[in-house]
Chains A and B, each alone.
Chain A
């Protein structure tokens, strides 16, 4: 029997081209399907239709009424909680937030804010961004990375006609 000593030092020629083809195809696929998803969060609101909530029992604490008015361009014209106005400057929502915090602190005791309900009465052409800002000012605040809650029960007044 002959033993062949050939082939031991032979280099195997690897076929690279098909592999690179496939790899590039994969790469193209992943690049094409790549989409950036921005981090988004939610404000949860429970709002049954007005016709069906006849059984809803009235809350012990009276509902706060937040009135947000708009100028013809949809920008903020006035912000008023019950009878307390906050003006229309950039600090309006900061003041509203401070007021609500003092209100909750005055009532004292944990859980006192749970029953508190607030109703948003907005002008028809108000920019929606202000509503989110108002909800941000009302529902809580972030302090030292910790999220604190204020008033969480929010409802909207029926929309005004245009």
Chain B
């Protein structure tokens, strides 16, 4: 009995140490482009706002799938909520863009445009960290 309990406690300790409850929005369908220069932010963003884009151009925002028009109105609502808060400012918001590496650049630029229309101006293009140079890879 004792060895089994030992092992089980080991496993529990392992999972307890590795668990993180932080709510990161990472859709697993998205295949991010990788880059050796991508670095995690030194300090967490004050007001992150994650917009994700699948390879076929579907936008994921706030848990919903939408098209650029839908994103535009959702962002305007978001901006109004932030304006209504006295202690928050639009310039504190960082829009984190997670786009698939096979998404069309024009579609990604549409996201940026919609964000600008809503008043956001700080962006973070997210990519996967890489240990080797990615410049020469096809």
Q: Mark A residues whose CB is within 8 Å of B.
A: 16, 19-20, 23-24, 26-27, 30-31, 33-34, 37-50, 52, 68, 70, 74, 90-91, 93-94, 97, 122-133, 135-137, 139-142, 147, 156, 158-160, 162
Contacts and interface: CB of A to CB of B under 8 A. Distances in A.
Interface of B: 1, 5, 8-9, 11-12, 15-16, 18-20, 24, 26, 32-33, 35-41, 53, 94, 96, 99-106, 108-110, 112-113, 116-117, 119, 121-129, 133-138
Contacts, number: 172
A44 B124 contact: yes
B102 A42 contact: no
B109 A159 contact: yes
Given A40-B127, A41-B127, A128-B99, A46 B122 contact: yes
A19 B116 CA distance: 57
Contacts of A124: 104-106
A136 B36 contact: yes
B106 A93 contact: no
A43 B127 contact: yes
Contacts of B5: 16, 19-20, 23
Contacts of B116: 47-50
A90 B135 CA distance: 8
B69 to A, nearest CB: 15
A127 B129 CA distance: 19
Given A45-B125, A49-B117, A140-B37, A30 B15 contact: yes
Contacts of B110: 159
B108 A128 contact: yes
Nearest to B98: A40
A156 B105 CA distance: 10
Contact of A127 (B15, B41, B104): B104
Contacts of B32: 40
A101 to B, nearest CB: 12
Nearest to B45: A42
A128 B33 contact: yes
Contacts of B121: 46-49, 52
Q: Which of B36, B106, B126 has the most CB of A within 10 A?
A: B106
B8 A132 contact: no
Given A24-B8, A27-B12, A128-B105, A90 B138 contact: yes
A148 to B, nearest CB: 10
Given A142-B36, A159-B113, A131 B127 contact: no
